[in-house]
């Protein structure tokens, strides 16, 4: 995994993550994502939108991703940057369709560390996540690129949004996940 750090004026960090998953696991995740149209029992729309599906199945690939996000291989590089000991909490796999809409600028209402990894065969220059300062001014917008994403070390303090709807001809797949922190590492 490649990792770059963007430190905000609030001293919170947004870590830009590239090449997150090993190739074999990434291929399994991509295959799982592209079942969102056919495996109707595994992919369900939440009450708030028919333009998003959330994976509710129990495939081996999904469990392998959970195991990976809990592993030292994933956690230790992030811990070294944020100087906090992390424990995996949960994850979700989302499929957003055109018409889901934008997301207004917000910080999470609860939680500690949060991340999102994009999964796609078809990249887009502006369909990722937009990071903002506390005045809701855009700092940067991430592309929607395969095996690429972000991790916020304090998700209740970092403003972010999605400035654009999912473009026609796309399904925006992403893994969103949360970690809590233990005692401070020295």
Say how many C-beta atoms besides its own lie within 10 A of residue 140's C-beta: 12
Range of the domain at 44: 2-181
pLDDT at residue 23, rounded to an integer: 97
pLDDT at residue 31, rounded to an integer: 96
> Can you tell me the mean pLDDT for 152-174?
95
- Determine, yes or no, domain membership for 170: yes
Per-residue pLDDT tens over the stretch 132-160: 999 999 999 999 999 999 999 999 999 99
Alpha helix segments (H runs only) across the chain: 23-33, 60-70, 72-82
- Tokens, residue 99: 């018409």
Confidence band, pLDDT 50/70/90 cuts, at residue 36: very high
Per-residue pLDDT tens over the stretch 110-127: 889 999 999 999 999 989
Please say whether the beta carbons of 57 and 38 come within 8 A. Answer: no
Confidence band, pLDDT 50/70/90 cuts, at residue 104: very high
Closest CA to 173 of 128, 131, 120, 115: 120
Q: How many domains does the chain have?
A: 1
The residue with greater pLDDT, 183 or 86, is 86
- Determine, yes or no, domain membership for 111: yes
Question: In CATH, what number is assigned to the domain containing residue 139?
Answer: 2.60.120.620
pTM: predicted TM-score of the whole model, two decimal places: 0.94
Please say whether the beta carbons of 147 and 120 come within 8 A. Answer: no
Alpha carbon distance 82, 95 (integer Å): 29
- Determine, yes or no, domain membership for 186: no
Please say whether the beta carbons of 2 and 147 come within 8 A. Answer: no
């Amino acid at each position: 995994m490649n990792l770059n750090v963007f430190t905000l004026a609030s001293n919170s960090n947004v870590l830009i993550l590239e090449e997150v998953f090993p190739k074999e696991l990434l291929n399994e995740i991509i295959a799982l994502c592209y079942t969102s149209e056919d495996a109707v029992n595994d992919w369900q729309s939440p009450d708030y939108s028919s333009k998003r599906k959330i994976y509710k199945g129990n495939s081996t690939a999904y469990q392998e991703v959970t195991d990976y996000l809990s592993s030292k291989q994933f956690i230790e590089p992030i811990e070294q940057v944020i100087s906090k000991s992390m424990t995996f909490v949960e994850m979700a796999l989302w499929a957003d369709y055109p018409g889901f809409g934008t997301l207004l600028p917000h910080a999470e209402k609860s939680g500690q560390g949060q991340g999102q990894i994009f999964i796609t065969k078809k990249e887009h220059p502006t369909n990722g996540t937009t990071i903002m300062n506390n005045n809701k001014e855009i700092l940067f917008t991430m592309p929607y690129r395969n095996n690429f994403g972000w991790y916020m070390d304090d998700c209740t303090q970092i403003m972010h949004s999605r400035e654009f709807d999912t473009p026609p001809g796309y399904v925006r797949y992403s893994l969103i996940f949360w970690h809590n922190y233990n005692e401070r590492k020295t």
